[in-house]
Amino acid sequence: MAQGELSTQHILGTKYLTTEDINLIFETADHFKEVINRPIKKVPSLRDVTIANLFFEDSTRTRISFELAEKRLSADVVNFSASSSSLKKGETLLDTVNNILSMKVDMIVMRHPAPGAPMFLSKHVSARIVNAGDGTHEHPTQALLDAFSIREKLGALRNVKVAIVGDIMHSRVALSNIFCLLKLGAKVKLCGPPTLMPRYIEKLGVTTTHDVREALQWCDVANVLRIQLERQDIKYIPSIREYAQYFGVTRKLVDSLKKPIVIMHPGPINRGVEIESTVADSPDHSIILQQVENGVAIRMAVLYLLADKRS
Amino acid sequence: MARGKVILDGARFQLTIERLCRQLIENYGDFADTCLIGIQQNGIPLTDRIAQRLRELIPEVRFNYGKLDVTFYRDDFRHREKSIAGNATVINFLVEDKKVILIDDVLYTGRTIHAAISALQDFGRPAKVELLAMIDRRFNRHLPIQCNYTGMAVDSLDEAYVKVEWKETDGKDCIRLFSKMN
């Protein structure tokens, strides 16, 4: 029988995964995608595993997606959100987590506003950690599901040209996507206003542009990101209206390219800002809802493979 | 790995497959409402061979053919020494009220079959489930599971290992007995 084991104990970022790990996650997700399309969408694999979802930051899609993935693997699930917790009473992250682990929790899915929080935790606790987004750093499962969706749509990732358009500086999706796509042999171009483009980002092996038309003309796939106003402490762009005018992906722009292009968005969408509704809803271009479906399969694969990982 | 001792090959191997097919025909007639489900991965070549022979023997036969992967249903998940990668499940029909013939190469502890029966429930409630295995290692069972159709019974020590080899993948149809799994 074929063997498959991840090289890592935790999923902290796509930076720390090998190409073999990513391919193993994709192959396992293929099987789980078949499972979630059955009349009974559930397998008993994780019936003796307890998973805590710790969300120190708001989330809708990721949280529901993880919870569904856990339930479809038959894991026991406990949920925690920062707004209703003892954090408000001054407890530290490590104390909170250690208290939860005392209740015999095997795995932790964590979203946290501080970059590196899951890495810190992984060094201090025995449970497996899955990063569900740490500040502006990484969001590995989103990048995996993005790459999985491109693979599903175009057949492979090698030499596929992917443009990532938007607020690159504050986007954990952008950074995780860059690491993941480059490991799979894709080519990546970043596009955004100069103020939202991190300096020296080209050192990662990507190219950059400030012209959205040039980026779209070049690419096979455009991953459009939201402007993360909640993470911006100063004004990086004059106005949302101006951003929409210069960097918005509009129907007119997409039609004028005169070539097939796949449009992706990790959500939440700000319609009329980074992407026009007619593009986001276009069945010819958009795979946004397929991304959401694939998210459950990818998260099932990640949780399954981590649970099976020997210490 | 040492080559192992051949315990079945050549004409006797083909005759065993032929006998299994004829036993199925005796019990299932025209195979109405019947499905053959091979267990991934090692049950698939045997299922292919049986399906092909049944179609030759009764050209008008119609049965559903599926492949079932039991990896995610195994009771030894997180207890095995090494992890096992999943395989594709291809069952494009419901087994509700159908007669199911589960097919695997070797029936050993019975745990794979136990997992397969659990997995099968997710595709409906079958009217009846029977088990066909090329090899029945009848004294090594962990669970009260028995074969309905057996190619050959092999009585061996627990540490022995039986492998079914196929012309398509291994170059020759034969069954080998290894004294120790390495």
pLDDT value, residue B2: 58
Q: How far apart are CA A161 and CA A181, in angstroms?
A: 10
Contacts of A5 in chain B (CB under 8 A): 82-83
Q: How far apart are CA B94 and CA B73, in angstroms?
A: 18
**Assigned CATH class of B30-159:** alpha beta
- The pTM of this model reads 0.89
Instruction: Give pLDDT tens digits for B77-129.
Output: 877 777 788 889 999 888 999 999 999 999 999 999 999 999 998 898 999 99
DSSP string, A144-205: HHHHHHHHHHHS--TT-EEEEES--TT-HHHHHHHHHHHHTT-EEEEE--GGGS-TTGGGGS
Tell me whether residues A31 and B77 touch, CB distance under 8 A.
no
Picking from B77, B82, B124, the nearest residue to A3 by CB comes out as B82
DSSP string, B137-157: -TT--SSS---SEEEEE----
The alpha carbons of chain A give a radius of gyration, in whole angstroms, of: 19
Nearest CA in chain B to A304: B72
Given a cut of 70, the residues of chain B with pLDDT beneath it are 1-2, 181-182
With H, G, I as helix, E, B as strand and everything else as coil, classify residue A129: strand
Tally of CA atoms within 13 A in the half-sphere of B32 that contains its CB: 2
Please say whether the beta carbons of A273 and A243 come within 8 A. yes
Structure tokens at A11: 């999923």
Query: Which residues of A are tagged catalytic?
Result: 61-62, 89, 111, 139
Contacts of A20 in chain B (CB under 8 A): none
pLDDT value, residue A1: 42
Q: How far apart are CA B121 and CA B118, in angstroms?
A: 5
Interface test with B, best of A7, A31, A304 (most B CBs within 10 A): A31
Q: How far apart are CA B7 and CA A281, in angstroms?
A: 62
Please say whether the beta carbons of A161 and A189 come within 8 A. yes
The alpha carbons of chain B give a radius of gyration, in whole angstroms, of: 16
Tell me whether residues A34 and B89 touch, CB distance under 8 A.
yes
Walk along chain A (311 residues) and give the pLDDT tens digit of each residue: 456 789 999 999 999 999 999 999 999 999 999 999 988 899 999 998 999 999 998 888 999 999 999 999 999 999 988 776 666 677 888 888 888 888 889 999 999 999 999 999 999 988 999 999 999 999 999 999 999 999 999 999 999 999 999 999 999 999 999 999 999 999 999 999 999 999 999 999 999 999 999 999 999 999 999 988 777 777 899 999 999 999 999 999 999 999 999 999 998 999 999 999 999 999 999 999 999 999 999 999 999 999 987 66
